[in-house]
Structures are given as structure tokens and as C-alpha cells.
């Protein structure tokens, strides 16, 4: 099994909480990780119609088999589970007793919020981080190959074509998740909507324009985007909330949790197509942003990631608070850190003045160094999580 960075967080939470929940997109490795870390516990898939039927017909008899604990996979498939577990853990709060996994984050979270608040340690497992991939590919993946292939575990551990895998993934996702939740009648319209979202990765979200182009109402577009976000298909990066006396852009930016899926939706069928593709820069920015998100999730932290843009064009592609100050990040996909790149990096931190740490520039080249007050970081540094997201500013 691949070594997942979330493992240490799960072990830590298992020493405190009687229930652990692992959310995340389908095929991110939740089941594999839960079964490996908690191999001493019985495993039950609530997608199994026999097990689910037993649970619904005789919940007491079903749960009597698991008094000392269990791993319940796709827990949201039996919503009554959460209220039953509440009584069980209130009677015996032994830590690390029950492990819940679920792909539909909104379904799992609804049950936890209603019945298990204060009793559950919440975690989120996303596709492989750059650090986790380094253990698989031994640093041999080229940047364009990484962007195109994406980070789902199966694409790095099995002999499967990304094109075939993503085609199956999208079809399965549409059938199992979207149709169940939204009762979409015309799947081709929804699929067009998802492709249009992929074409806007790294851009400010304009829901009205997106709805118009997809041929749906604004209300429908909002509902569909909410499902994509809750299912960990897309991620909305919010603007930073402090204004520093400026007129700010207040719209979030749209990203995909996996660039491989975005590439497939955009019709990019090989890594060779990426160098000249007009969205390569956006896909690289998407990758850097989600690498920071993965680092936060794997550490059991809130995302707390933002961007900044004012009406005068001053912007930071990514920023977060660190050590009482602001860390700004400029993202450029080129392999050579030009003077324009350095100036953009310097400009990204000016809005925060004395509250800004030395700015970072993450780019598509191989060397990391400091230039003119900007910490220039290679994309390969993403495989070293101690260098970003929670790093010491002097490192």
C-alpha cells in the first residue's frame, strides 16, 4: 500500500475521538487506507445490499456484531447509522472505536453534524500529493505528464490508461452520485456543464456566464456546482477577507481537485498536447493550489487558503496566514524565472506592506533560490511539504 500522509493524522485522532470520519472523492484511497490502518477492526461496506438490508431491517442486531468497533465504508448510504452510533459511543467513549468513510461529503457531514458532533474526528483524503507521488515515481515524472495523468492512486499503481480510467470515472460519478442527489434527467447537459467548468479552471467564477453557456438556469448551475464541490471534484478558492483599504474582487476562483480529470474533460488526450495548450498555465496554477490544499488536509488542518486581487490589477495567486503575517505566492508555469516573473512575485506582496512575509514564486523549472527578495521555488519543491503551507518563513 502507498504510504499516505494522512496516516499520522488518523493515528493521532484515533487516540482521542471515539469515531473517525474520512471523506474525499471516489477512488482517492479512503477504503484502502482505513482498512490498512485499522486492520484489527471488522470491515463493512454499506454499499453491499445485503449488509445494508440487514442494517435497515434490524439495526440493533446489525450493530450488535460490532460492539468493539468497525470500519463502515460509504457510511452515508445508511443515514440511521449516525444516530445509532451516538448512543453506542456515549455509553462507551473508547477512542478510535468506529471508522466511517464516505465519498459524498455532504451526506456524511450532514449525519455527523446532526448526531455525532463532538464525538468524531473529521479528515479529508484527496488524491496523491506530490510528496506521496515521489515515493511511487521516484521523482521521474515530467511536469506535463504529472498534470495530464493527475494524482488518483490507480493511475500510478495499476497498468491503466488515463483516458480509459477517466472515461469510466466520469460515467460512474454521473450515474452514482449526481443522479442520486440531483435526479438529473439529461446527463449530457450536466456533462457539458462539467466540461465548461474545466475550461474555467483558475478563473474567477462567473456563475451567470457559466449557466448561460450551458443552457441552464442560474439556480440549476449553483446547485450543480455545489454538488461538484461537495463531492470533491472542484474547489472554490475564496478571496482574502481583509481589504487593506482597497476595492477588492469578491468572487471565488474555480479549480479542479485533480488536473488529470480537468485535462480529460478538456479533451487533452496525451501529455504531448500540453506544452502548446492555452490552458497549460491555468492547469499548472490549479496543481500548485491543490498541492497546498492537500498538505493542509493531510495535516488535519482547515484549508485557510485564499487569493487576492483588487480592481487595480494587484494580485496574489495564492496566500495564507503564517506566523501572524501573510505569505503570498505567485505561480508561473514557465521553466525560466524571468525578470517579469520576479517583478510579479514582488508585486504580489505589496498590498500587505509590513504584514507580508518574503513572497514566493512557484514556477515550472527545476532550481530553487532567492532573487531580489523573492523566494523562487521549483515545482519539484511541492514534493517537500515542509517547504510550504506550514513552513517557517526563514527556511
Distance (Å, whole) CA 19 – CA 118: 10
Question: Per-residue pLDDT for 212 more than 60?
Answer: yes
Q: Are 55 and 81 in contact (CB under 8 A)?
A: yes
Q: Are residues 142 and 274 in the same domain?
A: yes
pLDDT digit string, tens, across residues 14-28: 999 999 999 999 999
Q: Are residues 171 and 119 part of one domain?
A: no
Per the domain annotation, does 340 fall within a domain? no
For residue 393, what pLDDT band results from cuts at 50, 70 and 90? Answer: very low
Report the pLDDT value the prediction gives residue 350, as an integer from 0 to 100.
86
Looking at the predicted structure, is the pLDDT value of residue 395 above 50?
A: no
Task: List the one residue out of 259, 306, 305 whose CA is nearest residue 284.
Answer: 259
Q: Does residue 173 sit in helix, strand or coil?
A: helix
Q: 320 pairs with which residues across the strands?
A: 327
Q: Region 284-308: what's the mean pLDDT?
A: 96
Domain annotation covers residue 69: yes
Handedness of CA 329, 331, 334, 340 (dihedral sign): negative
Tell me how many degrees the CA angle 248-375-151 measures, rounded to the nearest 5. 80
- pLDDT bracket for residue 32 (50, 70, 90): very high
Cell 490502518 identifies what position?
A: 37
State the Cα–Cα distance between residues 345 and 340, nearest whole angstrom. 9
Q: For 92-198, where are the alpha helices, taking DSSP H only?
A: 105-115, 130-137, 143-149, 154-157, 162-173, 179-182, 187-198
Distance from C-alpha of 362 to C-alpha of 288, rounded to nearest angstrom: 8
Q: Which range of residues forms the domain containing residue 179?
A: 130-238+251-281
Domain end, chosen from 58, 92, 124, is at: 124
Any idea how long the chain is? 395
Residues 360-382 pLDDT 10s = 999 999 999 999 999 999 999 98
Instruction: Retrieve residue 250's grid coordinates.
Output: 469578491
Structure-derived torsion over alpha carbons of residues 14, 16, 22, 28, reported in degrees to the nearest 10: -50
Residues 23 and 92 in one domain: yes
Write out the H or E segment, with its range, that includes residue 44.
strand 43-45
* One domain, residues 263 and 168: yes
The answer to whether position 393 is within a domain reads no
Residue 392 has what pLDDT? Answer: 40
Residue 321 domain-assigned (yes or no):
no
Our count of domains for the chain comes to 2
27 and 114 within one domain: yes
Same domain? 104 vs 176 = no
220-257: per-residue pLDDT in tens? 999 999 989 988 999 999 999 876 766 678 899 999 99
120-124, strands of its sheet edge to edge? 43-45, 70-73, 98-102, 19-23, 120-124
Contact 128, 156 (CB under 8 A): yes
Following DSSP, what letter does each residue of 299-365 receive, concatenated?
A: TT-----EEEEBTTS-EEEEEEEETTEEEEEEEE--SS--HHHHHHHHHHTGGGGGGBPPPEEEESS
Last residue of a domain, which of 124, 153, 178? 124
137 and 104 assigned to the same domain: no
Which of 74, 70, 83, 11 minimizes the C-alpha distance to 35?
70
From 281, 302, 336, the end of a domain falls on: 281
141 and 105 share one domain: no
Structure-model confidence comparison of residues 29 and 247, the more confident one: 29
287 within a domain of the structure (yes/no)? no
Is position 360 within any domain?
A: no
**Dist CA 94 CA 82 (whole Å):** 17
Same domain, 59 and 157: no
Asked whether residue 168 is domain-assigned, the answer is yes
Same domain as 265, residue 181:
yes
**Helical packing angle, 207-214 and 218-230, nearest 10°:** 110
Q: Report the chain's mean pLDDT, rounded to a whole number.
A: 90
β pairing state of 315-322 and 325-332: antiparallel
Q: What is the pLDDT of residue 152?
A: 97
Does 303 have pLDDT greater than 80?
A: yes
Query: Which CATH number goes with the domain that contains 101?
Result: 3.40.50.300
- The domain spanning residue 191 has which CATH number? 1.10.10
Quote the pLDDT of residue 130.
93
Give me the DSSP letters along 222-261.
HHHHHHHHHTTSEEEEPBPS--TTS-B--SPEEEES-HHH
275 and 135 part of one domain: yes
Asked whether residue 165 falls in the same domain as residue 277, the answer is: yes
Within a domain: 163: yes
- Give the span between the Cα atoms of 153 and 98, in whole angstroms: 25
Amino acid at each position: 500500500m502507498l504510504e499516505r500522509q494522512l496516516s499520522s493524522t488518523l493515528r493521532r485522532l484515533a487516540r482521542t475521538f471515539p469515531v473517525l470520519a474520512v471523506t474525499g472523492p471516489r477512488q482517492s484511497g479512503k477504503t484502502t487506507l482505513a482498512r490498512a490502518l485499522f486492520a484489527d477492526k471488522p470491515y463493512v461496506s454499506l454499499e453491499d445490499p445485503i449488509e445494508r438490508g440487514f442494517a435497515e431491517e434490524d439495526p440493533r442486531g446489525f450493530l450488535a456484531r460490532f460492539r468493539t468497533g468497525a470500519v463502515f465504508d460509504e457510511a452515508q448510504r445508511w443515514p440511521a447509522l449516525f444516530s445509532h452510533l451516538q448512543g453506542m459511543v456515549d455509553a462507551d467513549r473508547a477512542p478510535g472505536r468506529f471508522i466511517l468513510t464516505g465519498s459524498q461529503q455532504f451526506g456524511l457531514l450532514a449525519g455527523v453534524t446532526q448526531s455525532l458532533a463532538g464525538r468524531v474526528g473529521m479528515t479529508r483524503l484527496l488524491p496523491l500529493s506530490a510528496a506521496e507521488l515521489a515515493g511511487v515515481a521516484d521523482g521521474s515524472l515530467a511536469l506535463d505528464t504529472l498534470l495530464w495523468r493527475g494524482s488518483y492512486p490507480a493511475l500510478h499503481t495499476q497498468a491503466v490508461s488515463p483516458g480509459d480510467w477517466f472515461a469510466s470515472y466520469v460515467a460512474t460519478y454521473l450515474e452514482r452520485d449526481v443522479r442520486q442527489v440531483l435526479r438529473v434527467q439529461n446527463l449530457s447537459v450536466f456533462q457539458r456543464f462539467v466540461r465548461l467548468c474545466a475550461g474555467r479552471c483558475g478563473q474567477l467564477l462567473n456563475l451567470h456566464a457559466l449557466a448561460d453557456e450551458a443552457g441552464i438556469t442560474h439556480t440549476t448551475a449553483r446547485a450543480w456546482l455545489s454538488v461538484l464541490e461537495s463531492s470533491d471534484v472542484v474547489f472554490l478558492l475564496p478571496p482574502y477577507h481583509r481589504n487593506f483599504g482597497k476595492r477588492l474582487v469578491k468572487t471565488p476562483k474555480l479549480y479542479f481537485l485533480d488536473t488529470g480529470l480537468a485535462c480529460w474533460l478538456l479533451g487533452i488526450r496525451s501529455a504531448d498536447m500540453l506544452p502548446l495548450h492555452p490552458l497549460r498555465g491555468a492547469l499548472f496554477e490549479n496543481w500548485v493550489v491543490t498541492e497546498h490544499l492537500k498538505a493542509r488536509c493531510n495535516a488535519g488542518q482547515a484549508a485557510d487558503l485564499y487569493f487576492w486581487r483588487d480592481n487595480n490589477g494587484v494580485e496574489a495567486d495564492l496566500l495564507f496566514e503564517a506566523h501572524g503575517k501573510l505569505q503570498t505566492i505567485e505561480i508561473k508555469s514557465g521553466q525560466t524565472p524571468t525578470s517579469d516573473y520576479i517583478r510579479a512575485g514582488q508585486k504580489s506582496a505589496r498590498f500587505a506592506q509590513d504584514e507580508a512575509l518574503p513572497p514566493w514564486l512557484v514556477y515550472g523549472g527545476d532550481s530553487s533560490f532567492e532573487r531580489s527578495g523573492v523566494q523562487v521555488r521549483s515545482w519539484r519543491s511541492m514534493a517537500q511539504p515542509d517547504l510550504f503551507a506550514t513552513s517557517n518563513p526563514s527556511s
